Amino acid sequence: MNTLLWVLVGLTAYSAAALYLSQRGLLPDSVRVQGPFTTVHTKRGREFIDWVATPKRFWRAWSNLGVGAALVIMAGMFFFLLVQGIAIARDPPAPSTVNQPQNFLVIPGLNDFLPLSVAPEIVFGLLVGLVVHEGGHGILCRVEGIDIDSMGIFLFTIIPLGAFVQPDEESQREASRGGRTRMFAAGVTNNFFVTFLAFALLFGPVIASVGVAPGMAVQGAYGGSPAAEAGVAQGDRITAVGGAPVGNETSLDDVLLSIDERTVAVELDGGESAAGREARTVDVERALVVTGSVAGNPANISVAEEDEPISVTAVNGSPVYTRVGFADAVGEDRFAELETERGTVTIPVGAYLIQVAEDGPLAASGAPTEPGVIVTAIDGERVVSSTELTRALDGSEPGETVAVEVYHDGELDTYEVTLGENPQDGSGFLGVNIFPGTSGLLLTDFGVQSYPAGTYLELLGGDGGPDAAGLSGAVGDSPLAAVYISLVLPLASLVLGIPNFPGFTASVFNFYSIGGPLGFLGTGVFVLANVSFWMGWINLQLGLFNCIPGYPLDGGRILRTSVEAVVSRLPVTDRNRVVSTITTGVGVTMLLSLLLLLFGPTLLG
């Protein structure tokens, strides 16, 4: 039996046993069960809440701030969900990882974007978020004279999921409309405050204490590649190749392209890092392999990331072991014969364009816009791979006119292109999406994948060093931009084009160094970083979700009291019906929008 089946059997057995005990009155009155969910109620602790609620003027002022923020966010959530729901209903997107139902649950491991490696920090952040949320309701209950029927904890079987406060319904109805509104807003107010504290700690002293260790961080090595055969693996840092220092993926690529020797000495883990590894040197015997491919490439070779690499043994009859040797064997020819372990094939050689923007400079010159265009030369200079094309564009200027030779549909043609401006670095711009390799094949003579350690650190407000990709400047440097970045980092592969942020786990300690104001904590800084990041992220999510204006969420309750306040000033006879019509209409709209977000792409796509 697999793990999921054992879990389902356990949940069924627990639910059946709990139902049996409950029906026969064998459970205490304080314990209530509903399937696998259990609530434990108590009246103890109300004196403590009364004591905390003593400065009533402070708590009312505090919650009034929260009411204002909640109303603004409620309006934003309403329009966001409404627009998203309409867009999905009109043009359903293809189902993808992000809109799978399980990814709307904050459960590490089940949610594809929340790794199990940081499950303790995520669970702790969730518990803190639920406690401060319900605690806020409890405090404002006493401030506004609303009795508390019970308090307690909420469990999934025996696993604590949070706390709750259950107001007395009669005294809640007797409270003023403003008092009830403040009480409903208190939970999200506290969640946003915890978010502020957590992010202030993270973006301040925590990230200031983390630096990038020297070298290129290795995310992994392709199975069967030269690097993997030499023992280079995930967690290593490449700090030098053939005696030349390596600082990031670009410098590693530059060093490898400058050396044609088949065997190179690779230094790993030089310099200081938080992991404290000793430097070592391995010899890598290079061989030219295909580690990836794009669909429809002219060689008709398909290699997925999880597949074993395909060896390329010769080009135009000459044995090749490196990308330098590949380029030399191709020379000025536009076509080359590749001998691989899957056979021999003749292909056009150049930079493969996945996409040509229809409003971009290349398309404006009359070049074809279908996928599969291959650039073979720029101003007469041979382009063998994406590297040569990128370098040629980096050395150009916006407004410059260049002759771009392309291969498409069996023909070679040249187009005069007036370059646009690259929004990232201001260099010349073709308006294309380039596949990283040659002719739709990801060719390498080394075979490692880089980990964007510096980019993550830069996005979190630290010094990303040479490994950073400059994404923080593109996103923005305002506090709101920092909050946005924190929200999307777990979804970075979809939003920023880099792998999803896994947190500062032990597997990446070797990529960072420790110093600054909290350097005395050692690797404890990473624990603090994980706790503050996930606590801020989860509390922000809890606050935003509860601001959705639909019952039974806090936003729906605030909506009702707000509508009641407005309708009470209108010259209408049946005010209750008007209030119910408005709140029900908004609530149903929100429910339908959420259902479309969850299931629309699958059911309608």
The pLDDT tens digits of the residues spanning 362-394 come to 999 999 988 889 999 999 999 999 999 998 998
pLDDT band (50, 70, 90) for residue 344: very high
Say yes or no to pLDDT of 2 above 60: no
Cβ atoms within 10 Å, residue 54? 11
Three-state SS for 497?
A: coil
E strands along 286-384, which residues?
289-293, 310-315, 318-319, 335-340, 343-348, 351-356, 373-378, 381-382
Say yes or no to pLDDT of 605 above 70: no
Say yes or no to pLDDT of 217 above 80: yes
Identify the burial level of 502 via C-beta atoms within 10 angstroms of its C-beta, where 0-12 means exposed, 13-18 middle and 19 or more buried.
buried
Three-state SS for 473?
A: helix
Nearest-5° angle of CA 175, CA 178, CA 183? 75
pLDDT digits (tens, 9 = 90+) for 184-207: 999 999 999 999 999 999 988 999
The confidence score (pLDDT) of residue 353 equals: 93
pLDDT digits (tens, 9 = 90+) for 43-57: 777 788 888 889 999
pLDDT band (50, 70, 90) for residue 1: very low
Q: For 193-241, give the DSSP string.
A: HHHHHHHHHIIIIIHHTEEEPSSEEEEEE-TTSHHHHTT--TT-EEEEE
pLDDT digits (tens, 9 = 90+) for 435-465: 988 999 999 999 898 998 988 888 888 876 7
pLDDT digits (tens, 9 = 90+) for 494-532: 777 778 888 888 889 999 999 989 989 999 999 999 999
Spatial separation of the C-alpha atoms in residues 261 and 472, rounded to whole Å = 38
Using the structure block, give the residue that is written with the tokens 């990882």: 97
Say yes or no to pLDDT of 238 above 70: yes
The confidence score (pLDDT) of residue 29 equals: 78
The confidence score (pLDDT) of residue 376 equals: 95
The confidence score (pLDDT) of residue 309 equals: 86
Which of 69, 70, 66 has its CA nearest to residue 58?
Answer: 66
Fold of 288-445: Pdz3 Domain (2.30.42)
> Are 377 and 324 spatial neighbours (Cβ–Cβ below 8 Å)?
no
The confidence score (pLDDT) of residue 337 equals: 94
Tokens representing residue 327 in the block: 């380029």
pLDDT digits (tens, 9 = 90+) for 277-288: 899 999 999 999
Lowest mean pLDDT among 75-79, 256-260, 356-360, 478-482: 478-482
The confidence score (pLDDT) of residue 162 equals: 61
| Residue 552, preceding peptide bond in cis (omega within 30° of 0) | yes
Spatial separation of the C-alpha atoms in residues 363 and 198, rounded to whole Å = 47
Tokens representing residue 415 in the block: 């187009």
Helix (H), strand (E) at residue 534: helix 524-546
Spatial separation of the C-alpha atoms in residues 497 and 545, rounded to whole Å = 26
Cβ atoms within 10 Å, residue 10? 12
Model confidence, pTM: 0.79
Q: Which whole number is the average pLDDT over 463-480?
A: 62
pLDDT digits (tens, 9 = 90+) for 76-85: 999 988 998 8
Spatial separation of the C-alpha atoms in residues 453 and 472, rounded to whole Å = 14
More confident residue, 428 or 463: 428
Q: What percent of the chain has pLDDT over 70?
A: 92
Identify the burial level of 585 via C-beta atoms within 10 angstroms of its C-beta, where 0-12 means exposed, 13-18 middle and 19 or more buried.
exposed
Query: Across all residues in the chain, what is the average pLDDT?
Result: 86
pLDDT band (50, 70, 90) for residue 481: confident
Q: Which whole number is the average pLDDT over 116-125?
A: 84
Identify the burial level of 462 via C-beta atoms within 10 angstroms of its C-beta, where 0-12 means exposed, 13-18 middle and 19 or more buried.
buried
More confident residue, 14 or 200: 200
Cβ atoms within 10 Å, residue 2? 7
pLDDT digits (tens, 9 = 90+) for 544-573: 888 989 887 888 889 999 998 888 888 888
Cβ atoms within 10 Å, residue 169? 11
Tokens representing residue 243 in the block: 């005696």
Q: Which whole number is the average pLDDT over 28-42?
A: 79
Most confident of 58-67, 93-102, 169-178, 455-464: 58-67
524 contact partners, CB below 8 Å, separation of at least 6: none
Say yes or no to pLDDT of 427 above 60: yes
The confidence score (pLDDT) of residue 71 equals: 92
413 contact partners, CB below 8 Å, separation of at least 6: 367, 405, 406
